[in-house]
Amino acid sequence: MGSIEMDKERLTAEMAFTDSSSVVIKIRRRLPDFLQSVKLKYVKLGYRYTSNHAVYVNVVALALFIAVAVRLTGIRFDGFSSFFWSCICPDPATSLACSALGALLLAIYIFKRPRPVYLVDFSCYKPEDGRKISTEGFLDMTESTGVFEEETVQFHKRITKRSGLGDETYLPAGIHSRPPNLNMKEARLEAETVMFGALDALFEKTGVRPRDVGVLIVNCSLFNPTPSLSSMIVNHYKMRGDVRSFNLGGMGCSAGLISVDLAKDLLQANPNTYAVVVSTENITLNWYFGNDRSMLLCNCIFRMGGAAVLLSNKRKDKRRSKYQLIHTVRTHKGADNKSYNCVFQKEDDKGTVGVSLDRDLMAVAGDALKTNITTLGPLVLPFSEQFKFLVTLVRRKFFQMKVKPYIPDFKLAFEHFCIHAGGRAVLDELQKNLDLADWHMEPSRMTLHRFGNTSSSSLWYELAYTEAKGRVLKGDRVWQIAFGSGFKCNSAVWRSLKGIPEISVGCETEELDSNPWADCIHRYPVKLPVG
């Protein structure tokens, strides 16, 4: 990603709202005013209690209103009892007609109501130790290629030191080799290794056979061979001939949630069905070997990874499922030229392909986030938060009052936050402007440190971290949010169906083998250097 200027308002170049292996960002500004100017300081204990018990408050208010109305109007209840019984016990013909109508409406409701969508389980791919790359090893590799100029090597060093990545991230074999072996064969090998590794673990832990899957959705932004990646999976697992398979490309780091939303729609239309979503990114053929600083950032922060998710609309699966999908909200700002062009794949002046990020990227991302949370808010926030937001909006728009925009307290709606680990600076800005504690941001920051930016699959590494820590309790709500080129901002809301116990290293459990954090969770969280 592009040239990075550090000053009092600098935003470091770890930003990766893109779907690419090479991206550019040249930014001096922070998020727009609607987020920049607002920082919620605190919520009083009494207010929080009132928010969480809004139903009871409303009932009491309604009772008081009725009492006052009766007192002021002098309404009498003489004869009310006989009127009530005459209404509920009419003549037999009317009773029969009402019963038939009630049965019809009940049947329509049962058959038309949305089918619940359950997340049975998910699996994150963990590469073998031979694919690990330390920060020093990455810098040595960069210098040894002989492709990069001295200024470019120094740029890599500056970005790597403040990227938030640790010494145990992973790179594919094609990039590890000396010299790098970047070709279609190696790219296919990376895709197969990641996808099959995640799927093998998923099928083993759920007991679902590949031939039981009715819907298959694969998303990978930059590597789209023929036959497609979804066909690669169908062929490898010998899936049935009527499987509904989809292959999503070029949709960025938010494509994983787009895939979940598509799976939800397909499960609504196809009863008694399993859906599998595979999210990954391929960096073998998208490693940038050039000296244009506007396209170098992804070399520093994108790493190897992927995840597979099993969804079901079978009611019998509720008992064994981990989560239920509550909401998905998709925001697409592509109709605006500034949003459309802010992340753009192109060639540098020497013909090397990369992806550039416009200097307006943060403003575009902020606008997409604003639209997304404005849509999501009424679905998840308590009434009191919605009311405060509405009052502020009316004061600003209708009375032209100079008051700060009100950003609702989303901590009242969610217990856990999985924010795409696109880069350290982005996480800093979102934490500040959504007023989240370090505890809420810990899964995202630790995922960036341990696995790097794995694009659309990073949300699942973050959820796996939360589970490994034993933080997920029955009834907890999880907010996943990601950004992508186009420009898009997408959200998914899950409710936990059961508590998930903490992983204890040394215990022989199935979870110990399937969770990517199993062998290192005891070392996290780690203290990140200030950069």
What is the set of active-site residues? 253, 332, 416, 420, 449, 453
Cα 382 vs. chain centroid, distance in angstroms? 22
Stretch (H or E) spanning 247: strand 244-248
Token representation of residue 239: 């899936």
Token representation of residue 95: 């009773």
Q: Residue 432: left (phi > 0), alpha (psi -120 to 50), or beta?
A: alpha
Residue listed under structure tokens 């925001």: 331
Token representation of residue 433: 């402007």
Token representation of residue 316: 């019998």
Burial 93-105 (b: 16+ CB within 10 A, else e): eeeeeeeeeeeee
| CA proximity to 285, closest of 192, 215, 182 | 182
How would you class 270 by CB atoms within 10 Å of its CB: exposed for 0-12, middle for 13-18, buried for 19 or more? middle
* Neighbour count for residue 46 (Cβ, 10 Å): 8
Name, in order, each residue with C-beta under 8 angstroms of 514's C-beta and a sequence gap of 6 or more: 123, 201, 204, 205
Token representation of residue 191: 């895709």
Classify residue 147 by its DSSP letter: -
CA distance 503 to 511: 7
Please give the radius of gyration of the chain, using alpha carbons only, rounded to the nearest integer.
Answer: 26
Query: Residue 340: helix, strand or coil by DSSP?
Result: helix
Counting other chains too, the contacts that 433-442 makes at CB distance below 8 Å and 24 or more residues apart are 433/31, 433/35, 433/36, 433/38, 433/39, 433/407, 434/407, 434/410, 435/39, 435/40, 435/41, 435/407, 435/409, 435/411, 436/411, 440/411, 440/416, 441/417, 442/525
> Which ranges in 21-79 belong to alpha helices (H)?
33-36, 45-52, 54-73
CA distance 118 to 129: 33
| CA proximity to 511, closest of 471, 470, 480, 473 | 470
Residue 529 preceded by cis peptide, ω within 30: no
